[in-house]
Amino acid sequence: MPPLRTLMAIPVFLALLLAPVTAGSASSTEATNPFLSQFVTKGGVPAAALLDRDGDDVHFAAAGRGITRADHFRAGSITKTFIATVVLQLAAEHRLSLSDPVDRYLPGLLRGHGTDGRRITLRALLSHTGGLADFTTVTRGAVPVTPLQAVGISLSLPSTRLGRYSYSSTDYVVLGMVIQRVTGHSYAAEARRRIIIPLRLTGTSFPGARTSLPAPHGRAYTADGADVTELDPRVAGAAGELVTTLDDLDRFYAALLSGELLPSRWLREMLNTRAAHGAYGLGIFPVKLPCGTTVWGHNGRIAGSYVRSAASIGGRHVLTFRVNTTAIRDPDLEPALLAAEFCPRHG
């Protein structure tokens, strides 16, 4: 899920800078506590929470009811950064090449409606420039599907132009299939072995068909208030299956951006946005904030949950925030929060 309106929320940002801060408050997270409550009052969400790590300083803040730091929640398209990391690790091990066509691994899978897997490379899937239509435009993230069903839905829709950036969850469903073909293991098993276990992400899992969340967890709601805490993760698969926690996502993005998960050459590949004309790297995207700082990360939306992780290059400063509903009513709140956390304050 690419940036929403994640660039210039300057009026809200300036209002935040001018807001009074409690005497003696030194941390950026403490300063944004009053602002976080706007996700409830202006954004229309039941509850919001954030976890900010800046070096050795770690700060948690929450607004609304029924949300805690330890909660497990669905992370939606943040799953894509995990999948991309696995693919890049396989490339670093010379088990695949990003310039390989999909047909090399999944012969004949991508055929129809202007789509040809002999011309679509793995890099194009990673950067959303392969032209595959997004299957979720039909399923609306509410219908569980197998990977083959997701691809079939995609192929029944008009493709976009090869080489043009067009965000599509189908790309990462196919990459999940490639991982299995190359390794002999599911994308979930490879992500556990390569990322979750080494980083000790004890709250992170790929639940498969399990509809319940691990304890502890709060409730999850659609925009109209329906309770969707129970959800079949196969509505998203390799494009959005992940269940995780605030602490684990901060740890993951800090490790990724610091080079702990990828050799430097392959981290540079991940952060290369040329294929998507600056909009997206490989499973991660940049946002340039009003102060000129650029942060890297991803967002994720799935029924009952919206999540955003962002980190500085090097991974020293990383922020994850979440709300326990599908959508935020005011789209200016997210960029303003990122600016408040990552832009230096003066005076």
Whether residue 230 sits in one domain with residue 281: yes
Whether residue 221 sits in one domain with residue 332: yes
End position of a domain, from candidates 134, 160, 187: 187
- C-alpha distance from residue 69 to each of 77, 197, 328 (Å): 20, 21, 20
Q: Give the count of domains, the chain.
A: 2
Whether residue 178 sits in one domain with residue 224: no
Whether residue 57 sits in one domain with residue 173: no
Is 35 a domain residue? yes
Catalytic, 264? Answer no
Cβ neighbours of 189 (radius 10 Å): 14
Is 305 a domain residue? yes
Whether residue 178 sits in one domain with residue 84: yes
End position of a domain, from candidates 158, 187, 216: 187
What's the CATH code of the domain at 72? Answer: 3.40.710.10
Identify whether the C-beta of residue 172 lies closer than 8 Å to the C-beta of residue 83. Answer: yes
Whether residue 327 sits in one domain with residue 223: yes
Whether residue 217 sits in one domain with residue 157: no
From first to last of the 347 residues of the chain, give the pLDDT tens digit: 665 444 434 333 333 333 333 323 334 444 445 679 999 999 999 999 999 999 999 999 999 999 999 999 999 999 999 999 999 999 999 999 999 999 999 999 999 888 999 999 999 999 999 999 999 999 999 999 999 999 999 999 999 999 999 999 999 999 999 999 999 999 999 999 999 999 999 999 999 999 999 999 999 999 999 999 999 999 999 999 999 999 999 999 999 999 999 999 999 999 999 999 999 999 999 999 999 999 999 999 999 999 999 999 999 999 999 999 999 999 999 999 999 999 977 44
Whether residue 208 sits in one domain with residue 263: yes
Q: In terms of DSSP bridges, do strands 57-64 and 47-54 run parallel, antiparallel, or are they unpaired?
A: antiparallel
Give the tokens for residue 43.
Answer: 């954004």
Give the tokens for residue 152.
Answer: 């079939």
Whether residue 225 sits in one domain with residue 328: yes
Is 296 a domain residue? yes
Whether residue 258 sits in one domain with residue 182: no
Q: Residue 239 is part of which domain span?
A: 10-76+204-342
Whether residue 253 sits in one domain with residue 241: yes
Whether residue 83 sits in one domain with residue 72: no
End position of a domain, from candidates 135, 158, 187: 187
Is 135 a domain residue? yes
Is 124 a domain residue? yes
- Respond yes or no on whether the N-terminal peptide bond of residue 11 is cis (omega within 30° of 0): no
Is 248 a domain residue? yes
Is 193 a domain residue? no
Among candidate residues 25, 27, 37, 77, the one labeled active-site is 77
Give 311's strand partners: 296, 318
